Structure 1
Amino acid sequence: MKNILKISIFFLLLIALISCEENKQQRNNHKNSIRKSEELHTKDNNNEEESSTMVTLKLNQLNVMNIELGIVSQVNLGSTLKVNGQLELPPQKKASVSTILGGRLQSISVIEGDYVKKGQVVAYLNNPEIIKMQRDYLSVKSSFTFLENEYQRKKILLNDGITSVKSFQQTEADYYESKSSLSASKSTLQLMGLNIATIEKGIIVSSIPIIAPIKGYVQNIEINIGKYVSPAKEMFEIVDNEFLHLGLKVFEKDIDKAKVGQIITFSLTTRSDKIYEAEIFALGKAFDMDTRAVKVHAKIVGTHEGLLTGMFVDARIIITNTKVNALPDAAFVNEDGLDYIFIQIEKNKEEIVLEKIQVNRGVSDLGFSEVVFVNDIQNNMIVVTKGAYYVNAELNKGEFGEHNH
């Protein structure tokens, strides 16, 4: 009986021991499961944090959202003198085209924006008076030929004492009057652009050419085919933008700061994201009492693309030359007091991948701001120069979608 009791106690102890080991193993498994879950959660958070700075866009989205790409520019943001003005042309590089003789427009060979050379025909006018003027010229020329021969004959006769002085003088007066009439008629036809040699061959034309007086671009066409044009009517305007320059107003208190040879940076008031350069070549010598300013003239350095006479500009006369890395203001986004830009990471035929990076934003002027990179980037790195706000909106939209998921 005692042996049976001992055996029973032994088995009970054994069962209790096995049960404790199983509980311990379950607790260890539970701890391992919790640890693995935490590791996975941390890894997911890290991946999410990394992916939250990346955004993928379709290439056609760039056009739809007016997003532009470019590189960091070197812009002079040192000490400057702020001035304004407009793009101008010297008077000899701008021409109003009209006609000497009125008439109905027969044809037009140009449209606004066309480039023309000096002497190029831009239109033709019809007028019956043109035919009469050519006929009169031929008549005067024929009379002149006769009188010229008669003058030479009388001159010889006078020397031989065969004719009287009075007769010679009358012939001489008729000769010089005819010569004067011929010269006037010839000059008038030449002013109208008619070919004298062709007329002298007996070829009469019924229209006169309208000729470009300078080379340049046609603008402000004020006529159409069949319309009567009077001599005082401006038909075309031609401008030679090759000599486009800045006309700026410098106020009385700043006159001593402007000097010939100084560099100017400027932008159009309608497009502040593009910077142009110019150099002062002349300072006005007349003081405008109404505006209390002096006119400063500066020639444009480099491209004239996008510049037209009459456009208003915001300009800065460089006092101290300090060029820095800069981007247009539209390239920056600000969140929680920090500034960011987007750089291109990858691009293919259909998509582009952009990354949002933190930068420090410095001084700003003329629509540009200095950019200081927190971390080094590659030279000539492609960045979003316009529309960063919309890229950031797409990035945030993607973040919200992931969180909801």
Structure 2
Amino acid sequence: MPKLKLGQEINFTTTNNPTKVFTAKISRIGASFENESKTIAIHCLVVGDKTGLIDGMNTSGSISVDNVTSTAVPNTAIVEADGKNYIFIETNKQPAEEQENHNHGSDETLQQEPHVHEHNDGEEHEHEHDSTADSKNINFEKIEVIKGVSHLGYTAINPIVEIPANTRIVIKNAFFINAKMSGTVGHSH
């Protein structure tokens, strides 16, 4: 409450259209708690486009109280396993089964053979790969992260170990990579 002030901008979405973001400014801040909910009423005036808004609609809002930047990834890049959160990065490390009985901690990697490539024209083309030296393997490493604030499909992360600059992070299908690593992909009868 001490960080809220008159004229401050808020962003909000409606529950029936969570992709459209509206803007409003705080016009009045209540002076006492509501009895039942123990909340303080804040009144706002919508600024800009009001198309689609109807009195009494349910909304979800966010108020920026500090200008803080953080490393964030799409929500689909984070997987939860054993009560911890992880992302996957592309790595040069060899998969665990190819290492010569060396155990270097809990780093897990998954080797994936690429089959589809996207070209500059935006079309995807399938290529045959010879299993000789010209074939490229992509290895993934599971990195534990601490999740921060989530907003508009992105979540702030704080990796447990340092990730080098320009590291490629898996942003889609992380769930499937995790399933493949843990051996839970396949059929059960």
With the shorter chain as reference, the TM-score category is: 0.3 to 0.5
Relative CO higher for 1 or 2, CA cutoff 8 Å, sep ≥ 6?
A: 1
More helix as a share of residues: 1
Of structures 1 and 2, the larger Rg is shown by 1
